[in-house]
Amino acid sequence: MTIPEKEIYPRTGDKQTIYLKSVITDPGITVGEYTMYNDFVHDPVLFEKNNVLYHYPINKDKLIIGKFCSIACGAKFLFNSANHTFRSLSTYPFPLFFEEWGLDKKNVTDSWDNKGDIVIGSDVWIGYEAVIMAGVTIGDGAVIGARAVVTKDVLPYTIVGGIPAKPIRKRFSEETISALLALKWWDWPKEKIAQKIEAIQSGCAEQLRENNQ
């Protein structure tokens, strides 16, 4: 099935920015509506190949990205098969080379430690060339700084940066964060979001809450 260009490229004349959901073919990757990816180095349509790394079907791990996320050029998602096991006395992946060592092919995944899926909430901004490691969950509204390496979970509406990434500050007060997590505006119908954009952009959760009555 051919996808209309307008569903891939939301901006007229801009082939560097795409709606990511429209180009995903891997059943192990789920992306929400309006999440965008920009790439000025490579074709952004090749996101699965260039940005989702070591993601092999044998491991059954998943990449789950919410709605209205902004993913900057070069952001990478590194999955479990990039790991080497710490359970062994050696980090060498002997089970991967089962033919060489006469091992059982079914035990290939013993080569690495499986830390689980990568789960990204909604309205998350992932900065330029940031790296998200296997097993990490990033909460709604979080911001990942440029070239950060995220090895641990990130709480909602928290800004993190550095190697390894550490919290810098919360984007809003706890009261505002609680209100936004309760409202979940990203799950509203498109027509309602369009009506409430001014309130969303106001930076005032109370205004959005009032307008939601």
Do 209 and 194 lie in a common domain? yes
User: Which residue range is the domain that position 210 belongs to?
Assistant: 172-213
45: domain CATH number is 2.160.10.10
Task: Name every residue whose Cβ is closer than 8 Å to that of residue 72 and which is 6 or more positions away in sequence.
Answer: 38, 125, 126, 127, 128, 129, 130, 146
Structural domain contains residue 100: no
Do 55 and 135 lie in a common domain? yes
**pTM > 0.85:** yes
Structural domain contains residue 96: no
pLDDT over 90, % of the chain: 89
Q: Check residue 211 and give its pLDDT.
A: 61
Q: Check residue 163 and give its pLDDT.
A: 98
Do 158 and 213 lie in a common domain? no
Do 135 and 204 lie in a common domain? no
pLDDT above 70: residue 17:
yes
Q: Give the catalytic positions in this structure.
A: 84
Q: Check residue 68 and give its pLDDT.
A: 98
pLDDT above 80: residue 58:
yes
pLDDT over 70, % of the chain: 98
pLDDT in tens, 82-127: 999 999 999 999 999 999 999 999 999 999 999 999 999 999 999 9
DSSP class of residue 109 equals: G
Nearest CA among 43, 42, 44 for reference residue 19: 44
Do 78 and 183 lie in a common domain? no
Do 205 and 129 lie in a common domain? no
**pLDDT tier at 2, thresholds 50, 70, 90:** low
Burial of 211 (0-12, 13-18, 19+ CB in 10 A): middle
- Contact indicator for 37, 20 with CB cutoff of 8 Å: yes
pLDDT above 80: residue 213:
no
